[in-house]
Chains A and B, each alone.
Chain A
Amino acid sequence: MTETSGERILEGVCAADGLVVGRAVPLVSSAHVHRAAGSPGEERGVLVQAIAHASEQLDKLAQSQDEMGAEILEFQTALLEDEDLLAPVYAAVETGLPADQAWMRVIDGEIVEYREGEDDYFRARADDLLDLRDRVLSVLQGKEPARIELDGDIIVARDLTPSRFLELDWSVYRGAALCGGSPTSHVAILARARGIPLVVGLEDALETLQEACPAVLDAESGRLILGPTPGTLEEIAGRLHARKADDAAARSLIGEAAATARGEHVEILINADDPRVLAEVPVAQCDGIGLTRTEFLFSDGMLPDAQKQYEVYRDLVTWAEGRPVIIRTLDAGGDKPIPGVTVDDESNPFLGLRGVRLSLITPEVLKQQLRALARAAALGPLKIMIPMVTVPEEVDAVRALLNAVLSELAAEGVAHARPQIGMMVEVPAAALTAERFKVDFFSIGSNDLIQYTTACARDNPAVTRLANPKNPAVLELIRRTVEAAARMGVEVSLCGDMASDPERIPDLLDCGLRRLSVAPAQVGRVKLAVRRYG
């Protein structure tokens, strides 16, 4: 948290884009009251009734929702009909435990199981159980779900359950800031679908916000600003004004090919940080996938087997329907440690063994990945991108490994194709001497290029201001890379955060870039910025 003259800025993660100036108000759930328990027989009856009642409430709520809202509630309704889940609750009641305690004990145990493990989607289901737990508890305790009337329009809560989210009147409330939550939760999906700005992971937001106060929910950059200064408000007002006009314009452009005011075509690809987001993106809105981060595959510290990897890559190629799909080989290290893969205790991980440097030390991992990629390449234009390349020898080493893999596949008679090989340009040494590298394409990784050019660690908030994407040195390196690519006759794109920021688009187009890879949610806005250029 940073503080300037009463203004408090809390940093979180953007889960649904937007910008709200309003009044932040804490949403605190009421404490549980104890109820008088009856005999096991009575408690059993009470529980049966409470579950039936909760089920009715959910059905009623589902009826007032659109299809997506109803589907999300459907899982909770199904759980209330799950005999295997309920059996231990009734068993606990038989042993003399009061209905509410028996219910809580069993469901809490389940919640713990759902929270374990690395799969975000699975972990998010813990919210569904928590939601259901509290619904049945409030029925058992004789409370109807409280109608919330809060004096404010930015809700600040520990967390929001899906049904709680759906019960809130989003014509009154305009955004939410959560201490917990994740961008892949059901609530985040709902918020994005409804255009409700949502910031999650604001750890101590509730502690900081003791009572309602003026605030800015900046879900463009994932921040909650409490008690904003007049200067901040002025800046936000400017952004808000521009945003309103842009939203309408961006919506009208999202399905169209991007072109500058002069009619010059610009390819807009998307970044598939997590392939699951693709389910929400119509492929016709983009020109392909410009960056797939494969770290998510390795998230549980175990290496997925070749078949599983192949299937993930295959699904991406299938989704793209003939458009190019760029998949980056494992980019571990730096701020992305992977147990068993990355090196511990480096004094400066950003300048240490990360990306291709690490891959070449443990070539087995890279080889397995290349094998799966070459197999998937048989299905469409899949391209391999190597991260953190500093010298040409690194590209040559990866190409040699790929050649070996291709020979193996040919010998085994396994279907495959030779994918193009490209590299990330994110180390200044590579940007300055791009022509030395024998590659099929370049993709500029602006986040790391800025970090290394300005000597500002990405994980150090104290130097955030210095790490300015507008620094002429950064733009100069981008320009040189684009010019080198033109001389070499190879493709070049930019896939860092800069490409997703409409304000940076003119600079990038000035540098000669005509191919950008952006966050899926920013496609419309980026196309609008392109349209306004020139």
Chain B
Amino acid sequence: MTDAPAESADPNQPAASGQAKILDPTGLHARPAVKLTKLAKTHEATVEIRAGEEGKWVNAKSPNAVMKLKAGSGEILFVRAEGAQASEAVNALVALIERDFDAE
């Protein structure tokens, strides 16, 4: 479900965005939230996520902020990144959400 990376106004500040649906029936709970932030932290780019189109963008590297999204099962998580390897960061996060956070 990844969108094509958005066009960036500044070629030195690449930007990207994507989205994926939360599959886990309990929603984005503590374990996935931690996994997501850990993955986000492996990327240098600024990464933000929000739950639903009306949601507030929060820092995807903050477990507290991600947990407080209270994103439920079936909700769409939007991911956007800016900076070095922004599209890699977005793709990695979207893939993680699509894999249902590698839940056993």
Contacts and interface: CB of A to CB of B under 8 A. Distances in A.
13 contacts: A75-B33, A82-B62, A83-B62, A84-B59, A84-B61, A84-B62, A85-B63, A113-B68, A119-B70, A121-B29, A279-B26, A307-B74, A312-B73
Interface residues of A, number: 30
Interface in A296-348: 307-308, 311-312, 315, 319
B73 A315 contact: yes
Interface in A70-104: 71-72, 74-75, 78-79, 81-85
B14 interface: no
Nearest to B30: A75
Interface of B: 25-27, 29-31, 33-34, 37-38, 59, 61-65, 67-68, 70, 72-74
Given A78-B33, A83-B62, A125-B67, 8 more contacts: A78-B63, A84-B65, A85-B63, A117-B70, A276-B25, A276-B26, A279-B26, A315-B25
A122 interface: yes
B91 to A, nearest CB: 23
A71 to B, nearest CB: 6
Contact of A275 (B25, B59, B67, B70): B25
Given A71-B31, A279-B26, A79 B73 contact: no
B83 to A, nearest CB: 16
Given A75-B33, A75-B34, A312-B73, A82 B64 contact: yes
B73 A84 contact: no
A191 B63 CA distance: 25
B26 A121 contact: yes
B64 to A, nearest CB: 4
B53 to A, nearest CB: 13
Looking at chain A's contact residues, the main secondary structure is: helix
A279 B33 contact: no
B74 A311 contact: yes
Contacts of A75: 30-31, 33-34, 63, 67
Nearest to A110: B64
Nearest to B67: A125
Nearest to A113: B68
A504 B6 CA distance: 63
Nearest to B29: A121
Contacts of A81: 63
A75 B63 CA distance: 8
B73 A85 contact: no
Interface in A264-298: 275-276, 278-279
Contact of A79 (B25, B26, B61, B64): B64
Which 8 residue pairs spanning A and B have beta carbons closest together?
Answer: A311-B74, A84-B62, A75-B30, A78-B63, A85-B64, A315-B25, A78-B34, A82-B62
A312 B25 CA distance: 7
A218 interface: no
Nearest to A75: B30
